[in-house]
Amino acid sequence: MASLDSHTPARTPSLDDARALMSHVYGFRDFRPGQDEIIEAVLAGEDVLAVMPTGRGKSLCFQLPALLREGLTIVVSPLIALMRDQVAQLQANGVEAATLNSNTPPEEAEQTWDKIDSGALKLLYLAPERMGAPGLMRNLARRNVAMIAVDEAHCVSQWGHDFRPEYLRIAEFAQTMGAPQIAAFTATADAAARRDIAGRLFSRAPAEFVSGFDRPNIHLAAAGKRDGYAQIRSFVAARRGQSGIIYCTSRKGCESLAERLQADGVEAMAYHAGLEAGERSRRQDFFVGEDGIVMCATVAFGMGVDKPDVRFVVHNGLPKSIEAYYQEIGRAGRDGLPSETLMLWSLGDAGLRRRQIAESEMSEEQKRMETRRLSALIAYAEAPACRRQTLLAYFGEDTQPCGVCDLCDDPPELIDGLELAQKAMSAIARTGQRFGLEHLVSVLRGVSNEKTQRLGHDALPTFGVGADLSKDQWLSVYRQLFAAGAIDQPIDGHGEWLITAKGKEILFGREPIRLRPPQDKRASRTASAPSRAADSLLSDRDQQLYSALRRLRLDFAKEAGKPAYTVFSDRTLIEMALNRPSSLDALSGVYGVGARKLERYGEAFLDVIRDA
């Protein structure tokens, strides 16, 4: 493509060339942390294995070098939908890219091969299962394959949570192609997984790059589940018009939540593996293409959803593990704009998970490991200070308090929790460590009901000693005691709570315990706090212009049958609304406005800005 040719230097391209190309084509001014060193290594011809958090911008790390150099880059990506999205985004920026799968019509395939031969097309996306197709291999072997870029490279590791046997073909494919350079990318791989990936994918040791796990644009929050739906409703209501995902733990949960939200006027949909495949992909496309849909989904939803402007992710129930949680919240804010999360959980969720682990087919060793992971998750949910510090510490990173989490927003003053803890645990001890929370709280609060009377628990010294606190407050105390390892549920039990060795130390006053005041106001504050999305920073006047720009974006998107963000990202429109550029030249300085988009959409957007 002509506009690119002028950026293809004869000498070995440098990082400056890459920066110039990025600005011209993508309209981005600076590299994000980590991108520059990776791009430099790729340009130098090194094999690379890079770990980078979701949304940080892995794609540019292979796209820019691919476009700057001679030869074809094969991009291996696990999902057709992901490839389709990436190709669409490249094309929107005026970059030739294509994907070949078994359904590609022959004429289209032929065109693609022609473009490869003329050097116009340098990025070819392939699914890993295509790596052995004989016809395709013959065709590729005749071309100059300069690099293989592997997206979601952790799929090659059997240890990972996403192992895909097809990924094992990549190494052999590389040999068939004459061992070109390999650049592999993933968002999740600890040291052991990196060794595993390096061994399976590369024929020589790659240069490794690990960028931190932190996603500073994502606000973290967690709260105890009280009246589940009301908490979610007020959270969503404060974020009208934003795209969001609410993870539910069951199919039925997804359906009923979506229905209740719809009844409350929210554009909500359900998504889970129980839906027929066509319907699933229709709903996914709708979520990606439209603005402001709230998807109530099981974790089946997300992989392959490459939507940059998801503004919030809520967990309605405990996620599976911290790793899973990190991946799932990572679907928010890929565009780098402020985005929010909220985890709502109850001890009931934790108890259920405990039993699931106990009843599973895992080995004893694995069960112990899963139990430890669950404890780490609970400790995160009940973190006493900066939530991000707790999260990153789990991944082995040390950081300062972040300022972008519920606990930094409003640091709880820890109190001496001895008396509360002793009361809560004595309710457990006095009733013989045989009861669940409902009953324990009734005893503490002195609720005289059939059960307390029948069991004679209304005569216990503990009966009514906690009448000054609400049920929610006692549940908060119990959650914190569980997080602190003072109480536990037997793995093979029926929901009863018992006191651990550590709990006994506290109960007998031999060990101190500090607790957050069990007020649980935090939950409601988080839920109803106004959205922190960037567009809430706009003044009313800018907000009007922003809405007009969004309408224009939607018109263009509908006309092309493409998702709105392939026209311009939210961040681009926000900058336009704030800076109000008055000429094409000024517009080209706005984030995300590359040469192609300037030419195609520039005048139309300027008109709207001028009329505002």
Residue 52 lies near ligand ADP (rule: CB under 6 A): yes
Residue 94 lies near ligand ADP (rule: CB under 6 A): no
Q: Name the DSSP class of 34.
A: T
CB nearer ligand ADP, residue 47 or residue 309? 309
The distance of closest approach from Cβ of residue 579 to ligand ADP in the complex, given in angstroms and rounded to an integer, is 16
Binding Zn ion (rule: CB under 5 A), the pick from 88, 408, 460, 586 is 408
Under the phi-then-psi rule, with left for phi > 0, alpha for psi from -120 to 50, and beta for the rest, what region is 317?
A: left
The distance of closest approach from Cβ of residue 66 to ligand ADP in the complex, given in angstroms and rounded to an integer, is 13
The distance of closest approach from Cβ of residue 52 to ligand ADP in the complex, given in angstroms and rounded to an integer, is 5
The distance of closest approach from Cβ of residue 89 to ligand ADP in the complex, given in angstroms and rounded to an integer, is 7
Looking at 434-539, list the stretches that DSSP marks H as alpha helix, in order from N- to C-terminal side.
437-445, 450-454, 471-483, 501-507, 521-528
Q: Binding string to ligand ADP for residues 22 to 51, with x set by CB under 6 A, is what?
A: ------x--xx--x----------------
CB nearer ligand ADP, residue 25 or residue 475? 25
Which option in Zn ion, ligand ADP, none does residue 31 bind, with CB closer than 5 to 8 A by kind? ligand ADP
**What one-character-per-residue DSSP string does 168-224 give?**
GHHHHHHHHTT--EEEEEES---HHHHHHHHHHH-SSPPEEEE--S--TTEEB-EEE
Query: Rounded to whole angstroms, what are the CA distances from 470 to 280, 482, 521?
Result: 43, 19, 12
Return the residues of window 297-316 that contact ligand ADP according to CB under 6 A.
308
Helix, strand, coil distribution of the chain in percent, nearest 5? 50, 10, 40
What is the number of other CB atoms lying within 10 angstroms of the CB of residue 590?
22
Residue 388 lies near Zn ion (rule: CB under 5 A): yes
Point out which residues pair with 149 in neighbouring strands: 75, 183
Q: Name the DSSP class of 591.
A: T
Residue 258 lies near Zn ion (rule: CB under 5 A): no
CB nearer Zn ion, residue 237 or residue 408? 408
129 closest CA partner among 120, 138, 117, 137: 137
The distance of closest approach from Cβ of residue 38 to ligand ADP in the complex, given in angstroms and rounded to an integer, is 11
Query: Rounded to whole angstroms, what are the CA distances from 153 to 86, 169, 246?
Result: 17, 12, 27
Count the residues of the shown chain that bind Zn ion, applying the rule CB under 5 A. 5
Binding ligand ADP (rule: CB under 6 A), the pick from 24, 41, 47, 56 is 56
Residue 402 lies near Zn ion (rule: CB under 5 A): yes
The distance of closest approach from Cβ of residue 28 to ligand ADP in the complex, given in angstroms and rounded to an integer, is 4
Q: Is 73 helix (H, G, I), strand (E, B) or coil?
A: strand
Length in residues, the chain: 612
Binding ligand ADP (rule: CB under 6 A), the pick from 208, 335, 382, 496 is 335
Which option in Zn ion, ligand ADP, none does residue 388 bind, with CB closer than 5 to 8 A by kind? Zn ion
Distance between CA atoms of residues 313 and 327, nearest Å: 11
The distance of closest approach from Cβ of residue 334 to ligand ADP in the complex, given in angstroms and rounded to an integer, is 5
Binding residues for Zn ion, rule: CB under 5 A, are 386, 388, 402, 405, 408
Binding residues for ligand ADP, rule: CB under 6 A, are 28, 31-32, 35, 52, 54-60, 308, 334-335
